Structure 1
């Protein structure tokens, strides 16, 4: 065991667990001490047991580009990401600040458009955005004026250990189920590591999520009537279906598909064995384009005809809001710090990664000369698709992206190749550093709650920078050390 750990090399990166001299950081000292008590055989057996636990529970994800088959068990690594309470407090405040500004932005662009009229954001970035839906959304009075019920904000740490926002996910962020399953497997398979560790628990958080959903009751629901909320899924073939099932079960929501719903007199009903039941709140996990064939894609068989008209009339709440994609577009991402200053009159607590907008001729020219040094991203893509990591790309891949950028520059952004922090991973009976990020989940209703910890994702392929499960990444448990002086992860009046 000692030899395995001694071979670990942090390299040029900020490491979550180890200092550059090889000694564990203070907040990892207890975990490191317990880790040293495991034999090599202990680790091997526990690792195999953990993977079997995920397989037994049916926890899978989809790797669309894998020629060997798409359904895979979620890879799990047992070394947690441990975050001290003072660091977490800053993250919490930063996430609450960011999502509040993003929500005000969405409310603004679908109503008065002050931020465009004042020239803070170029209007063409909104008007030409494929995820901007003024016909379906403009002017709608939604419950609480809240477009963002659940946000998944992806953070990284740079070479100095500073947190930065990598990406905003405001449409259908997935992964909460993995947060809970990672903790469950850790407690089942590695109970020793929790000894004398004071960490924030997750149990209460699902009740906060339930409370947040039901805070979005439409005004048309009569006082005293118990509202009905459901979870709308595309079905079993969706890559995040396990996430849908988990949340529906834990939140006590009926899991339905579009074929289970019908709209009559601009109200939404669920078909049951006892007849039609009125639906007031829909936590949807279907993308906008497929929600309603009358309002979006006419060929959609996943959605519900007439749903958007019911939404516009205030007869049903849809969470997250329709049209949120315009705010988590990667070109708009570059303007979020300006949104914070504009709407909140504050400086961003957690900064962005530096971003180049290729629609700008000068920035584009500079980037095209340095494609082998930068990361190129499609502004509308997610999950690690249509992305170039210059230092790891072949000359053919670089030239292919050069052509893409030249033909459609507004579709791409560029960012520096960050020295993303690493953490130890135990795979193939050895320890080695892997790059990690953290998806923080923010629940917004009458109050705002930040799930303590979130989903730590790890690029298990040695040297890889891509942590997405859809690209073969894995997960780790995330521990937030308790503040001995107390504290809460709630902000009133979101």
Structure 2
């Protein structure tokens, strides 16, 4: 067995400068991973090559793909999946879960306040110009009360583990956080390929997400509705996350619709069916704010439903997430999250922010421009890893270009130190070997009226290119199954 074990992990080179999640500082496999390490070590490289191909075939046959866009063409790819899972011990998960809930609660209160009384602005905790200049702030949401008082029904909190072994929040995602379907499909694929490994660990299930999502969405139904009719609205099959839209609708047991399948009459929303119109009460939307209603926002949108926002303002339909939540996604707002948590909850943040410089502040802009080689520059309103510049990877010409872009629109950019994300053994196809790759974790929190739920697992994303720190699938990243262990 030892020879085989050495065979499958023989080329694994541990860089002691990086925080390796399965090895301790002495180079010994941590106790929580020891069974898994030995179980995987019983396979030869050829065994693992075959298992890996089976997992890929499983994803392909299920249609688990995503779209990658560039200037020339769009490609559909199988979502890359690594068969070696990440393990999170119960004591670490307790910190992550409570921290994710804390942030979601605080952000919901923040959104209510900035669209109502604006106390946090009047008391000069967060500057008004930061809110009003956000591309995702909607004046149309002023004084609208979302059903159940919930704005961010679904939140994705991106967490990293640093060299000090502590977890930090990299960013909050509450417009349309994606990726949860891959969490569930990763678990399914791993069970099909290596079912026996689950007999040695007591892990929480991740397959209960859809039922919990539906349950919590139903708590924020419009007034006067007993049995709400829920739908998922998608931009259509060419959207990068269409697989997820269809998967969630199917597992919740609700209809997947496009804008053309719905219409508004007398400020109520209806779905076209062969039996005639059916009233719709809750819409889990995967369409951006600007496209949901051509009468209120972009008149050229063919994705939304004319009159939908009027129905929402009247309280006749719930939109999840609420329009205008994207202002709290703004990476400039992220810099104020510790103050936001203290202001609304009177608590200290459970999960720390990564130190962030906002370029709209003159002193911080000066520092960023002078230390650009040591920083990651991010646009405040992009997602998917787009627009990010990592200072120590830039040529001299690229440095000058980034500086010019930042100076031309400082409000649009933040900067963070180049962090050393933790690494995890990851199988690399082309080398047929395990190698260190950087990982992060996206957690999924669902808020309902007086109820909340965090999926006990989340999406571990992997930067598959050696040394890369950007884990997004759109930038060539993949994912792993994430095991949250039950307490002994």
What TM-score, normalized to structure 1? 0.95
Deviation of 1:49 (Å): 1.1
Equivalence map 1:331-350=2 (5 Å) = 331-350=332-351
8 Å contact 1:85–1:480 — kept in the other structure? Answer: yes
Tell me the distance in 2 between the aligned counterparts of 1:236 and 1:69: 13
Which residue pairs with 1:168 in the alignment? 172
Judge conservation of contact 1:220–1:315 (CA < 8 Å) in 2. Answer: no
Contact 1:10–1:422 (Cα < 8 Å) also in 2: no
Q: Tell me, what secondary structure is at the counterpart of 2:200?
A: coil
SS of equivalent to 2:102: helix
Distance 1:207 1:58 in 2: 22
Measure the CA separation in 2 of the matches of 1:57 and 1:373: 42
Mapped contact 2:283–2:320 kept (Cα < 8 A): yes
Q: Once the 2 structures are TM-superposed, how far is the Cα of residue 364 of structure 1 from its aligned partner?
A: 0.5
Unaligned runs of 5+ in 2: none
The answer (yes or no) to whether the contact 2:378–2:387 under 8 Å persists in 1 is yes
| Structure 2 Cα separation of the partners of residues 237 and 359 of structure 1 | 36
| Structure 1 residues 285-309: Cα deviation after superposition (integer angstroms, max 9, x where no partner) | 0000000011110100000111111
Superposition deviation, residue 17 in structure 1: 1.2
Aligned residues: 480
Query: SS of the counterpart of 1:310?
Result: helix
2:190 pairs with 1:186: yes
- Partner of 1:17: helix, strand, or coil? coil
The separation in 1 between residues aligned to 2:53 and 2:264, in whole angstroms, is 49
State yes or no: 1:216 paired with 2:220. yes
Separation in structure 1 between the aligned mates of residue 436 and residue 467 of structure 2, nearest angstrom: 8
Per-residue deviation, 1:13:
1.0
Tell me the distance in 2 between the aligned counterparts of 1:130 and 1:255.
Answer: 28
Residue 444 of structure 1 corresponds to 447
Aligned to 1:477: 481
Aligned-pair distance for 1:192? Answer: 2.6
Asked if the contact 1:155–1:437 (Cα under 8 Å) also holds between the matched residues in 2, the reply is yes
Out of 430, 438, 458, the position equivalent to 1:454 is: 458
For residues 136-285 of structure 1, the aligned pairs below 5 Å read: 136-221=140-225, 225-285=226-286
SS at match of 1:292: coil
Say what the alpha-carbon RMSD is for the aligned residues. Answer: 1.2
What's 1:414 paired with?
A: 415
Q: After superposition, what is the alpha-carbon deviation per residue over 1:171-220, rounded to whole angstroms, capped at 9, x for unaligned?
A: 11111110010000000001232222111112333221110111111114
Match of 2:437 in 1: 434
User: Is there any run of 5+ residues in structure 1 with no aligned partner, and where?
Assistant: 485-494
Take 1:102 and 1:152, find their aligned partners in 2: how far apart are those partners?
A: 12
Normalised to the residue count of structure 2, the TM-score between the two structures is: 0.96
- Alignment-derived partner of residue 114 in structure 1: 119
Instruction: Answer yes or no: is 1:64 the counterpart of 2:65.
Output: no
Asked whether the equivalents of residues 233 and 285 of structure 1 are also in contact (C-alpha less than 8 Å), the reply is yes
Counterparts of 2:224 and 2:327, CA distance in 1: 28
Task: Report the CA distance between 1:9 and its aligned residue.
Answer: 2.6
Q: Note the C-alpha offset of 1:445.
A: 0.4
